[in-house]
Chains A and B, each alone.
Chain A
Amino acid sequence: MPGGGTTRTAVKPRTVRNGYGLSPLVLAVAFVASLPLLVVILSFLGGAGDVWPHLARYVLPQALSNTLWLATGVAIGTTLIGVSLAWFVAACEFPGRRFFSWAMLLPMAMPGYVLGFAFAALFEYTGPLQGGWRLLFGSSEHFPDIGARGAAILTLTLTLYPYVYLIVREAFASQGIRGLEVARSAGFRPLQGFVRVTLPMARPWIVAGVSLAVMESLADFGTVKLFNYQTFTTAIYRAWYGLFSLQSALQLSLVLVVLVLVALILERRLRGRARYNDPGTARHSRRITLSAGRAWSVSLFCGAILFVAFGLPAGLIVKWSIENFALEFDSGYWRLITNSLMLAGFAAMFITGVAMLLGFTVRRSPGIANRSLARVATLGYAIPGAVLAVGFFVPVAWLSRGLNDVIVGNDGTVIALQSGLTVIFLAYLARFLAVAHGPVESALQRIRPSVEEAARGMGVSGLRLLGRVHLPILRPAILTATLLVFVDLMKELPITLMTRPFGWDTLAVRVFQLTTEGEWERAAMPAVAIVIAGLLPVILLTRRRY
């Protein structure tokens, strides 16, 4: 448990400052969060079996190239959409800005399968668009086809851009338009200035958001399955479900994680010594006033994305839920909703709290050991959900079996670890720490060291430093992190399925039950409930601030 190790650093904050920097807290969190990774690594002890050569020859080449395409496409797509939206909302004035500032988050709560399903239904051979095309031109031959790759990239981009938007908007809002003014007084046109100054200055935030989106798309199974696009994840499931080789699945996951790790380390290296504390307070900065034409184009741009990523699928599932209301709705729904809200709410706070402690500790004793462990602790996000769930569950069940033997013998009446929500919370932590860690870490970068030093000079240190200095400054980032985790948790499936105690079914579980049987239309109602229940707090919390 992480609790045991957290105490010492709080008491002696200074002693660890310039040491080799391994804090018990970091170690404990990293241990819990990387349990699945440990299982994955241990899977190599058993050898590779005959599955590897087969996968390497027939499956991996395409899976790798498809995955690369997907990751690159989603990275570019979420950057383009997320960053431009963040800039417009944070720095420009245009009609409907206050509405769009929170509305652009809506697609985040839309389960990917719904958007994918809506696209598939619209664009497939039997869909209305191709049908109309055939009516007009006689055949489908020249119908513009984005293919499985395009469809997967488009769908994931549209559901994942809010990560980038939310995190980068934070950066732009605090950075203001001062950087742009510097560029303009140096003779650059606004767009040049944006590219040369504003973007580079927001780089850690962009990287944090995009890497979340990319990791999530690497772990995605539902959407790529819907479009039948073979990626690394589908290869992992092929090894596990098709070839009954969980071991090979775990090994493939490790390859995936190593790729992500290498990419993140490369990015860090490229950043070098440059820092990203904002260049002073933007005291005189106001929003940019756009010409009427441009302002309306921006509104149109936001509106178009909102329509495609949210309005369209939302319309579809609302239609379906109305059609299936009588069939689906029963009093059990309230239970599902409260379960979902409680699980996601408490777990989001828990995970963000741990991310804060982690970021804080690493910042104070930034030794190589701490930094590496913290990085490792966030890699679980790139592992496909079901693999991660097993990777977490296996050691926990093993531990608990051991405990059981020791404590109550063999009668099996007490299952120490599996009972209660402890396991599910820790498993959520292993998966979603990265989501909370990203915004918190980037925001911590923005606190000038002098601020901390000043507080310490006044005798404020340890937890009080966290409470009186960091928390207030980090509040927007904490809110961002909690919201991201919360919405992710509302939709989470594999871990919830595997580790929930009896009776803790959630809306997502209901969606899963119905979609596994192909009952897409009946699944719409719990999906609508997810969107609404998940977004009410999001809207309430975010609309006041921009």
Chain B
Amino acid sequence: MLLISARTMTISVCLAVLSGLAACGGENAAPGADDAQPPQPVVVYSARAEQLIKPIFDAYTSETGVPIQYTTDSEQPLIQKLLAEGQTTPADLLLTVDAGNLWYAAEQGALRPVYSEALEANIPAHLRDPDNHWFGLSVRARTIVYDTRSVDPEELTDYAGLADEKWRGKLCLRTSEKVYNQSLVAMLIAQLGEQTAERIVRGWVANLATDVFANDTQLLEAIAAGQCAVGIVNTYYFGRLQKDNPEIPIGVFWPSAETGGVHVNVSGAGVTRHADNAEGAQALLTWMSSPKAQNLFGGENMEYPANQAVAPHPLVAAWGPFEASPMNVAQAGAYQADAVKLMDRAGYR
């Protein structure tokens, strides 16, 4: 009997200690304003990295006095966590990257629709869910880059053009594992149909100068080193590189509206279905779409603001204006699985 109680006690003590540890874990929340009744905090699940969102949350808290609690994780695990928690979830707002993930979260019923004139005014229709489950907050343009020493931009047309034989052995691509390429191909499917899209992707694969790269930065460096002549990247990766190295011999090419426009993706947010503080979440979401927050949102990361009234970072603006594909970014989610299968078939690794 003695043994029983000793061991049971040990375990209870352990668990108690653990709970205690958690209790002293502290909060991320900033101190509230001196109101008589402290405002209810907003709890955010974020797949956008802490260093990108913290300045925005801090600004919100100091402006409104509303504390924000947040936790970060990868996109899919975060959605799975939200789904598993169901109505017990502490999350009020889901902030994530890539339209595919936003589409998937909405599809799984993790988000609730939000009707807000301010939001609809701030965010253009093609950058938000047609059913108002989520709103894009920053825009990432995935476009063509080229070696200014060997390529005349006149030779470039659009994404499909890169499948042309004249680029044989000159094209660099990032791996198809990356969601950016998956949504690019998804948009091609949505625009041109599956057969055409597959022909294009096969053309790309045939034109590859070398194995696909693990990330966009490696790809850009390969162009700068002359390993290949053209490639497709998210512009902010180029922006970061150019900031440190203004002389880099790489140019940005924007496919024109006639050929379908530039492929864009978003990071965005939606209020969770089981939010305890839906109002607070919606207020935060609306505030983030406002010009003030939009400057903070994309600027740090050299993305484009979703709110068209806000100008991008000067270095980003210097690449000139572009016309984004008018298709709704939600299509990227709807066709993403098809895109992945297509790339597998076409041998795009």
Question: Contacts of A126 on B, CB cut-off 8 Å?
Answer: 218, 221-222, 224-225, 227
**Given contacts A228-B213, A390-B80, A422-B19, is CB(A125)–CB(B222) below 8 Å?**
yes
Contact A389 B77, CB 8 Å, known A59-B344, A504-B25: yes
Q: Chain A 124-168 against B: per-residue CB contact (8 Å), 1 yes, 0 no?
A: 111000010000000000000000100000000000000000000
- By a CB distance below 8 angstroms, the chain B residues around A10 are 3-4, 7
Q: Does B256 contact A (CB under 8 A)?
A: no
Q: Does B257 contact A (CB under 8 A)?
A: no
- Whether A244 contacts B81 in the complex (CB less than 8 A), given A125-B227, A420-B23, A422-B15, comes out as no
Residues of A within 8 A of B301 (CB): 517
Is A1 positioned at the interface, with any CB of B under 8 Å from its CB? yes
* Among B69, B73, B75, contact of A502 (Cβ-Cβ < 8 Å): B69
Residue of A nearest to B175 (CB): A228
CB nearest to B340 among chain A residues:
A242
B344 to chain A, nearest CB (A): 4
Decide: B73 and A497 in contact? CB cutoff 8 A.
Answer: yes
Distance in angstroms from B16 CB to nearest chain A CB is: 10
Given known A-B contacts A11-B3, A401-B88, A425-B18, A498 and B72 have beta carbons under 8 A apart? no
Q: A241-B76, A516-B74 are in contact. Are A410 and B87 (CB under 8 A)?
A: yes
Interface string of A496-532 (1 = CB under 8 A from B): 0110111111000110111011110010000000000
Stretch at the interface among A170-178, A192-200, A232-240: A232-240
The answer to whether A2 touches B11, judged by C-beta atoms less than 8 angstroms apart, is yes
On chain B, the residues within 8 Å of A228 by CB distance are: 175, 177, 211-214, 349
Residues on A with C-beta less than 8 A from B77 are: 386, 389-390, 494, 497-498
Q: Report the count of interface residues on A (CB-CB < 8 A).
A: 78
Binds A, one of B44-52, B115-123, B286-294, B313-321: B44-52
The complex places the Cα of A225 from the Cα of B218 at a distance, in Å, of: 13
- List residues of chain B with CB within 8 A of the CB of A425: 18
Which of these, B51, B76, B341, contacts A517 with CB under 8 Å? Answer: B51
Contact between A498 and B90, CB atoms less than 8 A apart: no
Chain B residues near A504: list those with CB within 8 A: 22, 25
By size class, the interface of chain B is 35 or more
A-B contact count (CB 8 A): 192
Chain B residues positioned under 8 Å from A244 (CB to CB): 100, 104, 336-337
B259 at the interface (CB under 8 A from A): no
Instruction: Tell me the minimal C-beta distance from B232 to chain A in angstroms.
Output: 16
**A398 at interface (Cβ–Cβ under 8 A)?**
yes
B62 on the interface (CB 8 Å rule)? no
- Contact assessment for B3 and A7 in the assembled complex, using a CB-CB cutoff below 8 Å: yes
- With both chains docked as a complex, state the minimum distance between the C-beta of B187 and any C-beta of chain A, in angstroms: 15
Residue of A nearest to B20 (CB): A420
Chain B residue with minimal CB distance to A500? B71
Chain B's interface: helix, strand, loop or mixed, by majority?
helix
Nearest-neighbour CB distance to chain A for B317, whole angstroms, equals 21
Instruction: Indicate with 1 or 0, residue by residue over A278-295, a CB within 8 angstroms of chain B CB atoms.
Output: 000000000000000000
**Which one of B3, B18, B213 lies within 8 Å of A420 (CB-CB)?**
B18
Chain A residues within 8 Å of B26, by CB: 335, 503
Q: Which residues of A contact B27 (CB under 8 A)?
A: 502-503
User: Which among B6, B17, B80, B214 is the interface contact of A225 at CB below 8 angstroms?
Assistant: B214
Query: B49's closest neighbor in chain A, by CB?
Result: A513
Among residues of A, the one whose C-beta sits closest to the C-beta of B25 is A503
A335 to B25, CA, bound (A): 10
The answer to whether B179 has its CB under 8 Å from any CB of chain A is: yes
In the complex, B148 has a CB within 8 A of chain A: no
| A277 at interface by CB-CB < 8 Å | no
Residue numbers in A under 8 Å from B240 (CB-CB): 518
Q: Is B84 an interface residue (CB 8 A)?
A: yes
Neighbouring B residues of A237 by C-beta, 8 Å: 177
Does the CB pair A227–B214 fall under 8 Å? yes
User: CB of B237 within 8 A of chain A?
Assistant: yes
Given A124-B222, A125-B210, A126-B224; 4 other pairs, CB 8 A cutoff: A225-B177, A226-B214, A397-B88, A415-B88
Q: Using a CB–CB distance below 8 Å, which chain B residues touch chain A?
A: 1, 3-4, 6-8, 11-12, 14-15, 17-19, 21-23, 25-28, 49-52, 69-78, 80-81, 84-90, 100, 104, 175, 177, 179, 182, 210-218, 221-222, 224-225, 227, 237, 240, 274, 276, 301, 336-337, 340-341, 344-345, 349
Task: Give 21 A-B contacts (CB < 8 Å), ordered by A residue.
Answer: A3-B7, A3-B12, A6-B8, A10-B7, A131-B225, A230-B349, A238-B177, A244-B100, A335-B26, A342-B21, A346-B17, A386-B77, A393-B84, A394-B80, A400-B88, A412-B88, A421-B19, A422-B18, A497-B74, A509-B72, A513-B49
6 shortest interchain CB distances as A-B pairs: A3-B11, A58-B344, A420-B22, A397-B84, A242-B340, A420-B19
